[in-house]
Amino acid sequence: MPQKGLDRGPAPRRPPKSRSVTTMLDILAIVAAFSALNLGLSIFNKWALDGSGTAFPSPSLYTMCHMIASVLGALLIMAAIASQRTLSVAQAVQHWLPLGALAVFFAGSLVLNAASLATLSISVNQILRACTPLPQVLSAWLVEGKAIQPRLFAIVSSLCIFAAFAIPLGTASADVRGVVFAVGATVLVAAKQSVAAVLMGGGKKKSAHDGLTPVALVFYDGGLSFFYCLFAWVVQPAERDASIAYLRDRPALSLLVLGVGSTMAMLYNIASFTLTKATSSVTSAVLGAALKVGLIAMSAAFFEQETPHTPLNWIATFAFVGVLGAYVYDRQLATAAKKAEE
């Protein structure tokens, strides 16, 4: 009879890594990339388009170069990774309408946001962009078929009200035209996120997405948006002529502005679609709003110390941050309740 403890048999195998942990680590990596690119691109766009920076005169041409970089980046990824080669003519024909809408929403949001940065401070721009959750809730209802929760709707409505009072209108940091552009960009971003969620198989109105991965959407989105931006650039003679003169007189600075901005935009587009697929359109809006609060604080503290803010502006800004915290908390409660039901 063998002694106890000598015959231990084969060494026990290490348990496989939990899929939920892997998924969480993947999401954290996506969130980190999205966060860095979101903040970095906002600051760079302000520097590139504002009169105190390089004063690049054409938001349409600036955005058009972003679209070219996005298409090239998507093609490089597809060339390097076989699993990402999911494009087909049949796919494009089947989904031509939502893909076209996605391109219009995306390009329009970028052009309007770029135009707003020419006349708005970063903090005012980001306050308005942080209101994305309200149009996102409405867009998720209209496009994705998701129900509107009264408590959630009340919170995001309050967010927009406080944002309106936080803006120092009539100062050098904010004018009406810039505010209209930023609000338009916010609405188009919400519509784009919901259309992308449906195309990638999210929401209740699920799409037979047939390989519509985040990289494929970046390819279609950038390719179709290029023509939208080209049209916008051609039909505006003043902007077109000014940009041509700028490229001729400052070739090195033009290459820096367009090259760096386009590369960051391409990476941001991939991260944005990937985040939407990994989570949801509303979650993406929440994260984007939270990041914008950080940028608002940084901008007001370090870059806009001379901007005149009334006591009402500051009270509304702090209330805005508080409501945004309530928004995030409400979403956490909803997620916990959903998991408890499963």
- Indicate if the pLDDT at residue 234 is higher than 60: yes
What is the average pLDDT across 322-327? 77
Q: With pLDDT > 70 as the criterion, what percentage of the chain qualifies? A: 73
Q: Is the Cβ–Cβ distance between 269 and 135 less than 8 Å?
A: no
Q: With pLDDT > 90 as the criterion, what percentage of the chain qualifies? A: 16
pLDDT at 17: 44
- Amino acid type, 204: K
Q: Which residues contact 213 (CB under 8 A, 6 or more apart)?
A: 84, 86, 200, 277
Tens of pLDDT, residue by residue over 169-218, are 555 566 788 888 989 998 998 998 899 888 887 555 555 556 588 888 88
Sole residue written with tokens 């980190």: 32
In order of 119, 155, 308, the CA distances from 161 in angstroms are 22, 10, 20
Query: Is the C-alpha dihedral spanning 94, 225, 104, 29 positive or negative?
Result: positive
Tens of pLDDT, residue by residue over 252-282, are 999 999 999 999 988 887 887 777 676 665 6
At what angle are helices 122-129 and 150-166 packed, to 10 degrees?
A: 160
What is the average pLDDT across 89-107? 89
pLDDT at 22: 42
Task: With 0.85 as the threshold, say if the pTM is over it.
Answer: no
- Please state, in angstroms and rounded to a whole number, the distance separating the CA atoms of residues 261 and 244: 18
pLDDT at 260: 93
- Please state, in angstroms and rounded to a whole number, the distance separating the CA atoms of residues 158 and 124: 17
Stronger pLDDT, 283 or 268, i.e. the higher one? 268
pLDDT at 86: 87
pLDDT at 114: 80
Tens of pLDDT, residue by residue over 294-319, are 656 555 555 555 555 677 777 877 78
- What would the two tokens of residue 281 be? 């359109």
Q: How many helices (H) and strands (E) are present in the chain, helices listed first?
A: 13, 0
Question: What confidence tier does 235 reach under pLDDT thresholds 50, 70, 90?
Answer: very high
- Burial (CB count <10 Å: 0-12, 13-18, 19+), residue 279: middle
Q: How many residues does the chain have?
A: 342
